[in-house]
Amino acid sequence: MTAVTPAAQLAAAVEVLDAARSATVLCHVQPDADTIGSGLALAQVLHRRGVPVRVSFAEPAELPASMRSLPGVQFLVPPAEVPREVDVLVAVDCGSVGRLGALADRIAGAATTLVLDHHRSNTRFGTVNLVDDTAESTTSLLARVFDAWGEPIDPAIAHCLFAGLVTDTGCFRWAGPGTHRLAERLLATGIDGAGITRTLMDTHPFGWLPMLSRVLGTARLEPAAAGGAGLVYAFVRRADIDGLRSEEVESVIDVVRTTAEASIAAVFKESRTTPDLWTVSLRSRDSGVGTDDGVDVAQVATRLGGGGHRYAAGYTSTGTPDDLIAALLAELA
Ligand SMILES: [Mn+2]
C-alpha cells in the first residue's frame, strides 16, 4: 500500500462520515472512557445530522458504572442488536480486529469500515484508516475530525471528548503540545471538568481499599529484568475482586507503576469467569536521564498476542502465575 499523508487520511475519514446514510460505531471490549467517549461523541454528531446511528461493544454485558453518566448513552445497543450487514462501520480506539471481540465478524458485512485510533500497534484493518499514534486519545482525534467536518462541539459532545482525554492522559500527566489547548476548548463549553474526572477516576467503593491491600501484598520486584531496567508486578486474582468493578481492577496498575526501582510495571488480572485466564496491563517509563529511552511495551505486548502504546500496552494469556511471569521475563530478556 502506498503511504497516505495524515491530511489525506483525515479528508478520507470525513468523506466516509459525511456520506454515511446509517452508521454503526463499535468500541473495544472491556471499554474505557476513551473508546466510549469517542463512540458516543460521534453518535451525537451523526444523530444531529439526521443519520441513524447505534453504538456497541462486545463485552462485558454492562457499561462500566463510571461511564453511565456520559451524554449519548441512549445510542448504546447490546451486541445482539448490531445487524450482520451495516452501511458504515466505525471502530473507535481499537488497535486490531480482535479488540472488537464477538463483534469482529460485523466487518465482513460492512459496506465501508472506518478505523479511528491512536494505538501504535494499529493493524489498519479498515477500508479507510485514520490512525495517529501521536494523538493522546482517540477523542482528541475525533475533535480533529469534527473540525475538518465543520461539526461544532457542543457541551454534550465536549463532555464525551473530555472523558477520553482526561483518562488516556492520566489526568494530564502525559499531556503533549496541544493537549491543554484542547482541554481548555472543551472546558470553555461549560462542562464540569472536575466532576467528570472525579466520576471517572477518583471514585471507588470502600471495598477497593482491602482489595488494594491484598493485591499489593503480592507485588514483587525483579531489578535485573529487561537488561536492568527492572520489572515490578502484582497479581489480581478472581477472589480479590468479588463485588468490585472493572474501575477498581484497572486502578491497580497506577499504584504499581510508581515503583522507582523498575521502569516496567505489569499487573496480571485474572478473568472473573475463566480460571487461569489473565489480562495483563504493561506500563513503561523513561529512566529520566535521556528521553524516549523506555522499553517499548507495545512491542512486548504485540509479541505476546496483544498491543497498545509505547508506554502502555496489554495482552491476554492463559496459565499459572509462574507461567505468566516466566513468559513475560523471557520476552523482556
Ligand atoms: Mn485510547
- Report pLDDT digits (tens) over 81-110: 999 999 999 999 999 999 999 999 999 999
Tell me the sheet residues that pair with 234: 267
Q: What percent of the chain has pLDDT over 70?
A: 97
* 322 CA to centre of ligand 1 in angstroms: 30
Residue 239 has pLDDT above 90, yes or no: yes
51 CA distance to ligand 1 middle (Å) = 25
What pLDDT, on a 0 to 100 scale, did the predictor assign at position 320? Answer: 96
Say if CB 118 and CB 142 are below 8 A apart: no
Given a cut of 90, whether residue 266 has pLDDT beyond it is yes
* pLDDT score of 292: 65
Please give the distance, rounded to the nearest whole angstrom, from the Cα atom of residue 28 to the centre of ligand 1.
Answer: 10
Strand-pairing partners, residue 89, are 24, 113
pLDDT digits (tens, 9 = 90+) for 5-36: 889 999 999 999 999 999 999 999 999 999 99
CA of 34 to the centre of ligand 1 (A): 5
Strands (E), the chain: 23-26, 53-56, 86-92, 110-117, 128-131, 220-222, 231-236, 264-270, 277-284, 307-308, 312-318
Q: Contact, 286 vs 263, CB < 8 A?
A: yes
224 C-alpha vs ligand 1 centroid, how far in Å?
A: 31
Beta carbons of 240 and 215 less than 8 angstroms apart? yes
DSSP 8-state code for residue 6: H
pLDDT digits over 118-174, tens only? 998 899 999 999 999 999 999 999 999 999 999 999 999 999 999 999 999 999 988
What is the mean predicted confidence (pLDDT) over 194-208?
A: 96
pLDDT at 290 over 90: no
CA 236–ligand 1 middle distance (angstroms): 23
Q: Calculate how far, in angstroms, residue 85's C-alpha sits from the geometric centre of ligand 1.
A: 27
C-alpha 138 – ligand 1 centre gap (Å): 5
Residues around ion ligand 1, judged by CB within 5 A, are 34, 93, 138, 168
**Alpha-carbon distances of 196 from 83, 138, 164, 251, 256, rounded to whole Å:** 33, 17, 10, 17, 24
**What is the pLDDT at residue 3?**
62
What spacing in Å lies between the alpha carbon of 234 and ligand 1's midpoint?
23
User: Per-residue pLDDT averaged across 170-182, rounded?
Assistant: 93
Q: Distance, CA 296 to ligand 1 centroid (Å)?
A: 17
Listed range (42-46, 245-249, 259-263, 283-287) with the worst mean pLDDT: 283-287
pTM for the whole structure: 0.91
C-alpha 155 – ligand 1 centre gap (Å): 21
pLDDT digits (tens, 9 = 90+) for 48-83: 999 999 999 999 999 999 999 999 999 999 999 999
CA 305 to chain centre: 17
CA dist 257 → 114, 211, 230, 242, 329 (Å) = 34, 17, 11, 23, 17
Using the predicted structure, report yes or no on whether residue 302 has a pLDDT greater than 80.
Answer: yes
Distance 173 CA to ligand 1 centre (A): 15
Going from the Cα of 68 to the center of ligand 1, the distance in angstroms, rounded, reads: 18
pLDDT value, residue 291:
61
Please give the radius of gyration of the chain, using alpha carbons only, rounded to the nearest integer: 20
pLDDT score for 171: 94
**Which position has the grid cell 441513524?**
52
